[in-house]
Chain A
């Protein structure tokens, strides 16, 4: 991760915030806008950060995971279903329901991670096709179960979408959240906070521990790792499952932290954008986080423009067209992948099954 890249990231985020300030500043104080943009950016970057971390664990171990999108979608569904089931049928209190829902989401991700490991490590299926299988499977299963469980008359909820137990509450990060003006930036929900913690943890694990050294070894040169007695398959399995668990947490964000509902296809390409963030971040946790924040800012732009709807002067109103501003993250992804901001280097054995 070079400074040029961090510079580019900072620039884009500033530009995006600048746009909102420029558009909204006639009626709203710029400070309020900047703080709101920052807070939203961190929040909506959460699934992207987690998705990118998920990708880092898999790819640092040499397994390309394009199924993160599907893992997120399935986890979002099962997390939501778990929380509702506990809350509505088993009459568990809302808060424990939500937390157990998060656990269900994480486990769903882990299970799909296991499937990806089976396909790519044991059966040596082309890893991109394996990931695509997971994406299609997730779309099919969530679509089917969503209809079957919530909209069919004979289902457990009696054909009515039950009341969700809400979303995970914000909490104050001590000290930081008490700061004047910017304190609001540090009032975040638990998954958003855990994403940042996981960035730090992943950096430490990858570069300072035995586990990390071995993970990177099997991703760079599995044969070399094998010759010094490291079990390549086991390391890859473990890391892909860890990646799945993290993608599961990302999925929980959608239905348990962001909005209290599930919709088919609601992840909307976030898993794929995570991969772009991982690539642009050069497979490093901090780089991936920074890149995720760029995409977060692009999305925050759209949200904040909606948010300040009343105050926006008519000549800027076109920016509120979701169709136009909504394209920004996707276009940004494509621009970033062209490698105009420095070349990135994937782990040398990324995507290659290991044949003894």
Chain B
């Protein structure tokens, strides 16, 4: 440490090089993790009696092969971005929100109710400029409350948010199931599934292009990504969240109210997850239906980690996961490999991202250079 302060001002060129280098370093491990998981996925497909190459070709075509495929990929990616941001924001604040699932579900229920029932309850017709924000806002509020409860419990009683958010998931799931089978069930006599009635025209966000399911929610997701980044790094609130996340003792010492920050972080996290649900209802499905596949919450964790808990990384990871989920349908159609194999591959991605030492070991990555990487990698 004998370098004096005067040498510290970096030249522009060095700065650019350094940024570039750190960017490469940041994406290298996630990319290799994805690659390795795909290789193992291929082995699993092979073992299950399928052709890995055909399967991946189908996956690729289904995800990116056409304008429609691309549009569908963004449709899948939209809730992933919101939910991934929710989990990433909580991680930044040192909190593990496993409850995005429940927050998202309740956000959807609340948005749907405001969407189909509020005009009747109030006895007025609402213009879209009011009704849409109300529906989306209700979804955000529901998610925020569902996130705030475990946050408050953590701040107040020390009850661990990991178990509490999971319990809140099951409660939300039971509640949603009760509501969609009972009070909120679509009364249409032809309806046999657990779903709400369609929301009013005035609560619907119209499609961007006719004939494509690509919707404004995706644009909003990108916008919200920017906002989350801005909040985290450009505001005092973000400074507080990051300080509490990195060292709660030092935060307390420095005068930051740790319990308040924990509640705020979990509230914002829940709000983002709730927004994911609200957007699914108002911009895409125009109603809420009880899904059979559970997994947004866990996927969101994988996305946040794969995206290195950075908003921009979350968007990239969400697009990847969206593409895989979307392409999987075509893959199943072409090769009869169940779409569930994607869950396995995604779990493996998460495994390798979490334990990046395994990836470093496989590809012999050391700090000094990355040259060796690809040669060994393709051999595997």
Contacts and interface: CB of A to CB of B under 8 A. Distances in A.
Given A136-B298, A139-B298, A337 B343 contact: no
B159 interface: yes
A333 interface: yes
Interface stretch (B66-74, B245-253, B351-359): B351-359
The B interface, classified by DSSP as helix, strand, loop or mixed, is helix
Given A128-B96, A326-B174, A133 B358 contact: no
Interface string B109-146: 00000000000000000000000000000000000000
Contacts of A321: 178
Given A144-B340, A144-B344, A148-B48, A323 B166 contact: no
Interface residues of A, number: 48
A327 B174 contact: yes
A265 interface: yes
A132 interface: yes
A269 interface: yes
Contact of A139 (B295, B351, B355): B295
B175 A323 contact: yes
Given A132-B298, A337-B153, A123 B358 contact: yes
A129 interface: yes
B163 A135 contact: no
A140 B343 contact: yes
Contacts of B170: 268-269, 327, 330
B300 to A, nearest CB: 11
Contacts of A141: 344, 347
Interface in B147-195: 153, 156-160, 162-164, 166-171, 174-175, 177-178
Contacts, number: 126
A340 B153 CA distance: 12
Interface size class of B (residues with CB under 8 A): 35 or more
Contacts of A130: 354-355
B241 interface: no
Contacts of A333: 163, 167
Interface in B299-349: 301-302, 305, 336-338, 340-341, 343-348
B200 interface: no
Contacts of B355: 118-119, 123, 125, 130, 133
8 contacts: A66-B162, A126-B354, A136-B347, A136-B350, A279-B160, A323-B177, A327-B171, A338-B153
Given A136-B343, A140-B344, A141-B347, 4 more contacts: A144-B44, A146-B340, A275-B163, A334-B164
